[in-house]
Amino acid sequence: MAMTKEQILEQAMALNPRQREELAEELLLSVDEILDPQWAAEIQKRIAQIDRGEATLHPADEVFDAIRAKYSK
- Residue 6 reports pLDDT greater than 90: yes
Q: For position 59, what pLDDT does the model report?
A: 93
The whole domain housing 34 covers: 5-71
Q: What is the DSSP string of 8-56?
A: HHHHHHTS-HHHHHHHHHHHHHH-TTTS-HHHHHHHHHHHHHHHTT-S-
- For 20-70, the pLDDT digits (tens) are 999 998 888 787 667 788 887 898 899 899 999 999 899 999 999 999 999
Q: Quickly state the pLDDT bin for 73 (edges 50, 70, 90).
A: confident
Considering the entire predicted model, what is its pTM? 0.46
Structural domain count of the chain = 1
